[in-house]
Each structure stands twice: as structure tokens, then as C-alpha cells.
Structure 1
């Protein structure tokens, strides 16, 4: 059985390859069940979270990710997101590999947003606005830059010093990184706006989104979390999610507008439908596109499969 630590996984996880693997998985389909979530309230009103996400690609592979999210870890010098992934042979059940779950989550989540942007963002998108300065934010920046001709990144975070720290670590060839002091101006300038926060109140206002922009909502993973307001729903030509199972009743940016009657379940398009050509992607240069990432075991499985195949190629070389 292979053991893939975080450093090795990051070395093997090129974004074009990950995006291609996720595209194939969405086209073919993978069986998964609703994630198991357990939460422990914290004194500051937030929570420590533990999630289990299994999936099975029949006659190929199956696996499960166990991931914890402890926001208070940052102050202790520990990683916020921690986890493990176990991958098994889908033909005989034999364990194939253990992978670092935190590294897998970071790469998978970023590549998933990049896949959505590859379907939905304008081909000439040059300005990326990043909202948030947590562990995931730099990976989102790199992933989007891998599939669109990004020349400028505007980085905003409530804590300006943290934004400056994270932005300074973002070294992308040919890309100018600017720490933005004003959120509204940064959103208005973005061809792609990617939001990775744990906010319970909308951070992005729909009337800030310029024609032709693509909104990528990544951070909220619970019903009480919300990153974009109702106007963002109204501005979007269509509404996309990565998977219904991990969004419709799970994440605030989807379940809250559904409950309020602002969004209809029948109108929501998932990436599998787009990958199979059943539903359209972007249809015009001026429309605003809206995507909510809920994650899911199917995405982890596709990425784990790709990483293992890359590891085997490296081993044989």
C-alpha cells in the first residue's frame, strides 16, 4: 500500500491534470452518499467540525475521506484543516493507498473551482479577485491562473495584514498580486471572483459584479454560512453547483435562497450535466455566472485516483 504524504501529493497534483480528472469523473458519474457531519460548539460561537465523505467508482476504485476543521488551530500554530484519505481497489477491496487528507482537500477544492471556471468564466478573464486569506486561498489563486490567462490578482481579507502575508507567498509567473483595501472595488474589477470564507453574512453583493464576470463561492459548507447576497442570485443568468447532494440542503448559499423562493431547485445545474453536454455552460460574453462548490466524496475520489496514477508513473520512471 502506498503512503502519499502532503509534500508528495502537492508535487504530483498539477492543476491541468486534476481538472481533467474531475471533468472525466463528472462525465462518467460516481456513487456517493450524503456526508456525515459532526460539530462541536466553541466558546466564540463557531464550531469545530468533523466530516466523513465516502464514494465508489464501480469496477475501478472506492475511498473515504475523514477531515476535521478546527478554526482555532491557527492561533496554536497548527493547520486549520486536517484529514486522512483511504483509497481501495474497486474490483477486490484491497487497500491501495493512504493520502494526506488536508493536502488532498486543498488541491481538490481548488481544482474543482478551476473546472467550474473552465466551463463558466470568459476565456479572456485576466483579473482574479480573491476574498479570504485562509489556507485554501492561495490554492484557488493558482488553480484559476492555470486555466485562465490571469494577469492580475486583487486580494482582499478583513484582516489586511493577513491578506498581505498570504499574497506575498503567492508567486505566479507573469501575475501581479495586489492587496486590495476596498472590497467593493476589488469585486467590481474581477473577471473571476472567488470567495473562500466561513462567513455567515454575505460578503459579495450582486450589484458589484460586472457584466461577464464569474462568481466562485467556495468557503461556506454549512446551512448558516453565506458568502453572496440575494442580488447575486438575481444577477446570474443560471445557477451552477458541483453536486446536488452536497449543496441543496447543506450550504447556505443554496438552501437559504431555495427556502426563500428566490431560487428553484429545477433551475439548478450541476457540473455533471455540463460535462455530459446535457445543460449549457456560459452562453454569452456579458452574462454573469454563479457557481457554488459544496465538495463531495466523488471529487476526492477522482483526485485520489489521479494522484495514485501519477505516483505509479513516477515510481516506474
Structure 2
């Protein structure tokens, strides 16, 4: 039997603390060789700006194979539709049975914030108390919850183009007892923040390296997985010690990295390593308090597999979802 889990089911089941632990394990397992994270494929045709990205993974610990099909369709914005949609399929590594089909919106949001938290735990200064957010939507709210689980955050500094968005953000995060300051420009976020998360669907840089201060950690999260889109300018990438979720994925889909490489300002060899290598103790992360570290978060299928295992197990335990016999 296959379990169908809707976005409403998954919103009830999502647990940030458990997801952070699962994501941290998943990163390490890639490096240890007990999980397989293939290089990505991006499907597109000349007549359309749409891209379809199959994100696959295989893992011993979770005994799963998984694929998420991400549809990235910018033209949907004009029709009032989501520009990104995704669906996750989980299959038993042992029998090949399709165990579950999940709407991808909630898992993607939660595991993305969890990945930033794992990166901040390993690359940020452990005394980081001010969280900066460039962007204030649902992903920003999830990042606040995630960062509170790994760092002693006391204050949030946030910027968005929309005051409606920042008003909604403030209302959602004040329950955490944090000081929230809304600023008038992205540069002001960097003036006081210890950790900064960039969470905009930018196609051109909204973040400039001249703003970076010694000791900061940046999670570059928001840009679409396309080689010609970026949030961070070339100076920002050059000034930072760069870590990625997957070298192969970043080399295929990260405009933040590939544009400076095309300009000759960086080479792919300048990437310090994968986050999993830091988690597994194979390479150092932050070397000094003055380091500017940057996690280039493009998104990998192994993280969908990791949270998928949690959500599937939780749904079975709580009796959620619709069971369907696909073989009939």
C-alpha cells in the first residue's frame, strides 16, 4: 500500500528539531558513503523557461530510495500560481515498494531551514546572537525556528521589499520572545547580524560582499537552482570561505558560484568542501573567529529522503494520510 500525504497532513507532522538531526546525519552519510547523492539533471526545452529537476537519493540508514520532481515555472507568477511545485516519492530500498507520495512544499521548506541550521552550527560562531534575514516569507519564519535550535539567538534583523510581508513575519516570530527589527535595506541586515540567511528568489545580486563583516556566516539559500540566477555578488563569494551541499549540484545549478567562476574571479577548486565533509570531521569548517563563511545551499535529494522518512513514520504512527493500492 502507498500512503498519500497532503500538505495539510505534513504541516501537522513537521518537527524542526527532529529534521535538523536527520539532515545532519544525512550530510554526514553522504561523505561516509552510506548514502548515494547523484549529480543532478535539469530538464528543459528551448521553447520554454520552465525547468523540471528530478532530485534523487539512496540511503542505507533510512532504507529508502527517493525522488523529488521539482517544477520551476517562472511564468506561473503571471497566472497567480506558485512558481515552484514539487512531489516526493519514497520507495523501500529493500523491496522497491512505493511507500509514500508526498506534496513537496512543507518538506522542502522545513528541510531547507534545517540545512541552514546544520551549516550555521558547524560554520558559524557558537556565540552568534543576532540573526539577519534578507527576505521575510514562510522560509524566513522556518529559519528562525531552525536557528533557535542550534544557536543562542536573541535578536532578528529582517528586510523585505514588502511591509505586508515583514508585518506578517513579525507576528509569526514574536511568540519566540525575540527582539525583531525591520530595516530599510539588505545592507543594514549585515551591519549587526552574526548569521545572515538570504532567502529571496533573486535573479541578480541583492547582497553585496562589501557589506560582509569579519566573523559572519552567510547561508545563501534563496535563488532558483539555475546557473544564471544569484543573490550574492562576485565580491561576496570571493571574500568568503565557501562550502556547498554537493559539489556536483553546485557545479550544475548554482549561479552564485558559477557566475564568478565564468568571470574568472573564482574556480570550482576554491570551494572549501561539502558540508557533509565538515559534519563527518573530514575537513575543518570555521578556522578562526574572523572567518567569513558561506554555505551555498542549492538543495539535494538526500535531504528530501531524510525528512521523508520522518514524515512517513510519523504519519503511520498517527494514522494520517490516504492509503492507495497502486497495483490494482
- TM-score w.r.t. structure 1 length? 0.89
Q: 2:56 — aligned with what? A: 54
| 1:200 matched to 2:190 | no
The answer for the alignment partner of 2:214 in structure 1 is 211
In the TM superposition, residue 272 of structure 1 has moved relative to its aligned partner by 1.6
The alpha carbon displacement at 1:126 in A equals 1.4
Structure 1: 5+ residue stretches without partners:
none
* CA distance in 2: counterparts of 1:296 and 1:68, whole angstroms: 15
Residue by residue, what CA displacement relative to the aligned partner does 1:49-78 show, whole Å, maximum 9, x if unpaired? 432212112581101112223456567664
**Hey, what does 1:2 align to over in structure 2?**
3
CA distance in 1, matches of 2:3, 2:52: 25
Secondary structure class of the residue paired with 2:102: strand
Aligned CA distance change for structure 1 residues 185 and 163 (closer, same or farther; 3 Å): same
1:91 to 2:75 alignment = no
Give the match for residue 261 of structure 2: 258
Q: Which residue of 2 aligns with 1:298?
A: 302
CA deviation profile, 1:281-315 (whole Å, cap 9, x unmatched): 11222221111001011111111112223334445
Structure 1 residues 35-50: aligned runs within 5 Å: 35-39=40-44, 47-50=49-52
Change (3 A) 1:112 1:149: same
CA distance in 2 between partners of 1:48 and 1:282 (Å): 38
Tell me if the contact between 1:55 and 1:62 (Cα under 8 Å) persists in the aligned partners. yes
Any unmatched runs of 5+ in structure 2?
321-328
CA positional deviation for 1:87: 0.4
Q: State the TM-score, normalized to the length of structure 2.
A: 0.86
Is 2:154 aligned against 1:147? no
Root-mean-square deviation (CA), in Å? 2.5
Distance 1:178 1:75 in 2: 32
**Paired residues, number:** 312
The answer to whether structure 1 residue 121 and structure 2 residue 112 are counterparts is no
Distance in 2 between residues matched to 1:128 and 1:264, nearest whole Å: 30
Partner of 2:230: 226
| Correspondent of 1:167 among 165, 170, 174 | 170
